[in-house]
Amino acid sequence: MPLISTRTSRPTDEQEIIEICHLTGDLKIDPYLLALRWCLDYLWHEPENCFVAERCDLEKVVGYIVGTLDTRQQEQRLLSIMLPKARDHWRKLSPKTFSQWRGYLNMRGSFRNTVGSLITEYPAHLHINVHPDFQRTGIGSRLFEAYENNLIQNSVKGYHLGVAGNNQTGISFYEKQGLSKLSQYPRFGKPSVIYYGRKLD
Ligand SMILES: CC(C)(COP(=O)(O)OP(=O)(O)OC[C@H]1O[C@@H](n2cnc3c(N)ncnc32)[C@H](O)[C@@H]1OP(=O)(O)O)[C@@H](O)C(=O)NCCC(=O)NCCS
């Protein structure tokens, strides 16, 4: 197993993060479109709150956590900056792709509207993904430690995350990290989403 180190993100990590996001996600859509929704906002606007795990021998990113300290502010950015970019990007793709993923692009209907009180108590949130070749080797746990330490240094009172109810790997990982299950919401035609979180104060 090569030596792995963790560090805060840099702009040059972007392409490797997009690839890992695509490799580990359920949605097999255009990688850049996927990243506009799930990674790039954090990397562009809060790089100091994002962390990568890197293979020391190759300087290759093998896992990441992207996150925000303030979910409400980040949602505003999604709507005002990232959604228009996602639409522009879509226009370069085929109309078939768009009709298939129109709902996905419609961030205005964000599920977080239903979890407003949760955001007050747990204002930060994150997304974590580790390259399939490096999963279950402790990288996710190390990224989590770096992420949490940063929140504590920034006096953030808590964080949350959402995981699909059929993602047994993610659920097992978050429970192993000692996170509390906060709520669960059914979604029409899809697995429910489960929110986990931790208070830090
Ligand atoms: C979830 C994920 C981030 C965890 O990172 P990781 O580096 O694999 O995790 P670690 O090695 O630090 O921790 C291992 C723990 O995670 C869970 N886990 C990791 N891979 C697993 C797998 N294939 N099957 C079941 N549990 C798994 C287990 O709880 C495991 O503990 P155990 O080995 O004692 O049973 C990573 O597996 C991943 O990227 N998965 C695919 C994408 C994903 O589900 N992301 C979360 C979306 S909300």
pLDDT in tens, 161-179: 999 999 999 999 999 999 9
Containing 74, the helix (H) or strand (E) segment is helix 71-77
- Domain layout of the chain by residue ranges: 4-111+125-156
Pocket test for ligand 1, best of 135, 143, 177, 192 (most atoms within 8 A of CB): 135
Residue 111: predicted pLDDT = 47
Bridge partner list, 8: 51
Mean pLDDT of 71-89: 89
Task: Look up the pTM and report it.
Answer: 0.94
Measured from CB, residues less than 6 Å from any atom of ligand 1 are: 24, 128-130, 135-141, 163, 167, 169-170, 172-173, 176
Task: Give me the amino acid identity at 123.
Answer: P
Stated length of the chain: 201
Q: Are 198 and 154 in contact (CB under 8 A)?
A: no
User: What would the CATH number be for the domain defined by 4-111+125-156?
Assistant: 3.40.630.30
Quick one: what percent of the chain has pLDDT higher than 90? 69
User: How far apart are alpha carbons 150 and 112 in whole angstroms?
Assistant: 24
What separation in Å is there between the alpha carbon of 174 and the centre of ligand 1?
8
What separation in Å is there between the alpha carbon of 173 and the centre of ligand 1?
5
